[in-house]
Structure 1
Amino acid sequence: MSGEPPTSASAEPSLDQRVRDRLRGLRAERGLTLQQVASAANLDVSTLSRLESGKRRLAIDHLPGLAAALGVRVDDLLGPTRTPDPRVRRGPQRHDGITSWPLTHRGPAGGLQAYKFRVEAERHTPPDPLPVHEGHDWMYVLGGRLRLLLGDDDLVIEPGEAVEFSTLTPHWFGVVDEPVELIAILGAHGERVHLRTGDAVP
């Protein structure tokens, strides 16, 4: 009869539809392009696009590669959608006079990540030459005075000030006198330079 609500059976999405919805949702959540996921899953971009849109049926052998590309288990693609825990539980690291606390979840693509930094008083002598790497850094000083060497400039960044710069310019940051606390947003190259070789803080 017209106007009656659908039965629970008809309201339930098919397994194929559920997996497609999960693919799109996880890809959007992680900020990944079709090209990035397709490359990581060893699929053509056109194939992934057709899988997501329902123009091609998912096959069992697609699932392991897609799950790995999205950083989840196959069961996570097949099961019902669950709201992820929003809390960031990655532990702090210490490296080269900087203790860092992650403020964002890690996605498989290694995109922009936010951190709280404590720059210790021991970090006061810049290296020679100053490091250069691909990427872009953004920092906001919460407390203490930050010394930033950027090309030929020797700058003091006060609490409440922000800086943004290309890391292709020779650069280094440390303290003027006392420890500095700041918020930093880094790309993958900046993380490798400042964090990846760090030791976990117990």
Structure 2
Amino acid sequence: MADDHDTADFAEVLTGVGPRLRALRQGRGATLTQLSEETGISVSTLSRLESGQRRPTLELLLPLARAYRVPLDELVNAPATGDPRIHPRPFNRNGRVFVPLTRHLGGLHAYKMIIPPEPFGEGRLEQRTHEGYDWLYVLAGRLRLALGEHDLVLTAGEAAEFDTRVPHGFANPGPHPVEVLSLFGAQGERIHVRARPAQG
């Protein structure tokens, strides 16, 4: 009977890998093509992994764990050891530092973002849309938030929340780094870039 229980647990772990991989990729705004170029795994294999049609193997999961900068046991949802502490592994995207504050790949994602002063922080911002809902809290510095037709500057202690289907973008107008706490609930597809308005 114990063997049957272990087999069921193993099957449940394998079944959950695909949705976790998809949630992680979509939460970071990456396409299958981009992930394929980074890992060397074909787009079709990645797609079958995410849909559960391909059995996850160590040879496939190791490069994905490296690409996402997460521990291998997080990809397969290994049983908890009882230690509630999270060991963040910061990653850099477009010059901005992201520090993951959540361990699980599905559901709500929490990040601390550190954005250095940006030369384009005062200019017109590129806005994007994607499924989900975002909540931002400025810990230190100043954050410029372009949200639809609104253009706001948030300072330390201020927060904003919005549906990410509304075109949005943010930047650091300087002169010091800005630190932001971000809670994001991803529920949809990859990010779609909205064309920049024509320069006047």
Return the TM-score normalized by structure 2. Answer: 0.55
5+ residue gaps, structure 1, are: 1-13, 17-57, 77-81, 194-202
User: Alpha-carbon deviation of 1:173?
Assistant: 0.7
| Residue in structure 1 matched with residue 84 of structure 2 by the alignment | 86
Candidates 114, 117, 140, aligned match of 2:110: 114
Q: How many residues align?
A: 128
Whether 1:95 aligns to 2:41 is no
Larger Rg: 1
Runs of 4+ residues deviating >4 angstroms: 58-61
Gaps of 5+ in 2: 17-75, 192-200
Q: Where do 1:158-197 residues align within 5 Å?
A: 158-177=155-174, 178-188=176-186
Match of 2:129 among 111, 121, 132: 132
- Percent identity over the alignment is 40
- Supply the RMSD in Å over aligned alpha carbons: 2.7
TM-score, normalised by the number of residues in structure 1: 0.55
CA drift of 1:84 comes to: 2.4
Encode CA deviations 1:14-68: one digit per residue, 9 max, x unaligned.
849xxxxxxxxxxxxxxxxxxxxxxxxxxxxxxxxxxxxxxxxx56653432122
Give the conservation status (yes or no) of the 8 Å contact 1:138–1:186.
Answer: yes
Name the SS of the counterpart of 2:129 in structure 1: coil
Per-residue Cα deviation, 1:144-193 (whole angstroms, up to 9, x for no partner): 01100000000010100111001111000111212100111112369x75
**Residues 60 and 181 (structure 1), Cα distance of their counterparts in 2 relative to 1, 3 Å cut:** closer
SS of residue paired to 1:87:
coil
Task: Please identify, of 152-161 and 84-93, the stretch whose mean Cα deviation from structure 2 is larger.
Answer: 84-93
* SS of corresponding position for 2:88: coil
In 2, are the aligned partners of 1:140 and 1:160 still within 8 Å (CA)?
yes
Structure 1 68/84 Cα, relative in aligned 2: closer, same or farther at 3 Å? farther
